[in-house]
Structure formats: structure tokens, C-alpha cells
Structure 1
Amino acid sequence: MRAPLLPLFVLLALFATLAWAEETQEENLIAKMRLFTQEASQRAQEHLATLQESEVAQKAREWLDSSITWSKEYFTELRERFSSLWETKA
């Protein structure tokens, strides 16, 4: 009876060791992926900050601001002209 138990315990120990080894590899892989995503996120933020500070981005922002201001002024003038037309007809 004792002879079959010894190989069983050896097999159980082997399976436990293999399961533990796979678990640690999986944990290492998860840790590596977290580190990779953190580094990628940090680099993306750094590049975005560099782009926002660049001269081209500042010029584009100024152009967009001036275009929006011009558009607001244009549509305000149009609204005033149409409102004066409606007032004279009424």
C-alpha cells in the first residue's frame, strides 16, 4: 500500500511546483505589462506636452483664436442687419 503512495506524492509535489512556477511567471508578465503601459503613458504625455509647447502649436492656437473671434464678429453683424430688416418690415 505504501509503495503506490510515494509516486502519488511525488506527482502531487511536481504538479504543485509547476503550478507555482506558472503563477509566478504570470505575475511577472502582469507586472511587466503594467510597467510597460506606465512608461508608454508617461512618454505619450511628455510628447504631448512638447507638442503643445512648440511654436507651430502656438501659432495654430493663435490662428484658431483669431478665426473664432472674426467669426463671432461676422455673425453678430449679420444678426444685427437681419434684425434691423425684420424691424422695418413689421
Structure 2
Amino acid sequence: MGKVKIKPLADRVLVEPTAAETKTSSGIIIPDTAKEKPQRGTIVAVGTGTKDEPMTVKEGDVVLYGKYSGTELKLEGTDYLIMRESDILAIV
């Protein structure tokens, strides 16, 4: 996890999603069209928070987030999500 050249503002975080499962526990290979969107990822960068709400997550935390949370972006060939801290459901 290298240093990214993007700094989220206010209460936003930059998350690198965990790769989607490619095989089921019984060994069946899942095609790309049937893969679930990952709902887990690692925080790569965090904003400074707002004056009323300081940030509770930090870089390196593994988090769970909603299926349709955040905005997808590609930076230097890697896919990321940028979302508000309130879109994060839990720290794992």
C-alpha cells in the first residue's frame, strides 16, 4: 500500500476495496459477471474531519461499507472508493 497523491477533504476517506472472491468455498469459479461488489476495504487516506465531528478511522483500518457507498475512481491503475466516514458501517 504505497502513498497515494490524493488527500480527502473534511469527513471523507479513500478506501482501496478488497478484491472480489473468484472462487466459492466448494471450489466453483465465479465469472466476472456474477461477482459481488466488495463491501470491505482498507483505508488509504483520511480527511481532517469537521469541526463538530473528528475522524474515528485512520489509515490502514479494514472497514465494511454499504454495497453502493462511495464514488469509484481509478488512480495510477488502482481502483479506489471515496466516501464519507458516515458511509462506513464498521471497522473490522
Q: Specify the TM-score bucket, using the shorter chain as the normaliser.
A: under 0.3
Structure with the larger RCO, 1 or 2 (CA within 8 Å, 6+ apart): 2
Which protein is richer in helix relative to its size? 1
Q: With the length of structure 2 as denominator, give the TM-score of the two structures.
A: 0.17
Q: With the length of structure 1 as denominator, give the TM-score of the two structures.
A: 0.17
